[in-house]
């Protein structure tokens, strides 16, 4: 087989063929894996809701989406309200930090889980367990829910203050959205009262 002449036209043709083939392979792999990825995310969310509410015996309502938050009303088998699980995202050091937090009917934190993050392994990734004993059982409406470095009541993860701030801000905003929905107020009304 004869070697192609090294010309701009031939190089562009070869690069175009390589790009089309590579793009087609990536599109195929994405179409094959996307449903499985979505199923895994849904399973993780369902397990996360049970974990943050502290019970396997719960009924979860369809999520209400408002301003980038997803709120799941949680009841027991007899339709008694147990609280709300709220999914929220804030930007951490490495990118988006997606948190699911469970509140009882009074706004006290029952639990939380980090659904997705792009934080530094070994540092920012510690948010999953670092705050368990620091925030579970607390009500963000009754305490200063910021890191102690900023005058708050909660110690930051060592060497990971940005992630700690983002995490606590996510929890605080989830609480604010919970109270806003319970009070039936709009975001503008809430801001005026603060």
What mean pLDDT is predicted for residues 5-19?
Answer: 91
The values of phi and psi at residue 60, to 5°, are -115, 125
Report which of residues 156 and 30 the model is more confident about: 30
Q: Which residues make beta-bridge pairs with 101?
A: 86, 112
User: How sure is the predictor about 190, in pLDDT bands with cuts at 50, 70 and 90?
Assistant: very low
pLDDT in tens, 46-73: 888 998 998 888 888 888 887 888 999 9
pLDDT of residue 193: 38
pLDDT at position 187 over 80? no
Q: Token pair of 21, please?
A: 């083939």
Residues 6+ apart with CB under 8 A from 109: 101, 102, 103, 135, 136, 137, 138, 139, 140, 171
Could you please report the per-residue DSSP string of 118-157?
-PPTTTGGGHHHHTHHHHTT--TTSS--SBGGGT-SBPPP
The pTM of the whole model exceeds 0.85: no
Strands 81-91, 109-116: pairing is unpaired
């Amino acid at each position: 087989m004869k070697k192609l002449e090294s010309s701009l036209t031939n190089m562009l043709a070869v690069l175009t063929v390589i790009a089309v083939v590579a793009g087609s392979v990536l599109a195929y792999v994405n179409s094959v894996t996307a449903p499985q990825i979505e199923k895994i995310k849904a399973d993780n969310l369902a397990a996360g809701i049970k974990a943050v509410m502290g019970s396997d015996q719960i009924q979860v309502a369809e999520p209400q989406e408002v301003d980038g938050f997803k709120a799941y009303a949680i009841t027991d088998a007899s339709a008694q309200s147990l609280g709300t699980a709220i999914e929220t995202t804030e930007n951490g050091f490495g990118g988006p930090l997606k948190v699911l937090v469970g509140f009882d009917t009074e706004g006290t934190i029952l639990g939380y889980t980090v659904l997705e993050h792009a934080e530094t392994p070994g540092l920012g990734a510690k948010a999953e367990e670092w705050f368990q004993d620091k925030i579970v059982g607390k009500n963000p409406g009754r305490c200063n829910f910021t890191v102690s470095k900023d005058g708050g009541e909660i110690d930051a993860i060592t060497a990971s203050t940005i992630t700690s701030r983002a995490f606590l801000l996510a929890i605080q905003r989830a609480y604010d959205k919970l109270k806003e929905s319970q009070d039936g107020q709009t975001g503008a009304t809430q801001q005026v009262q603060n």
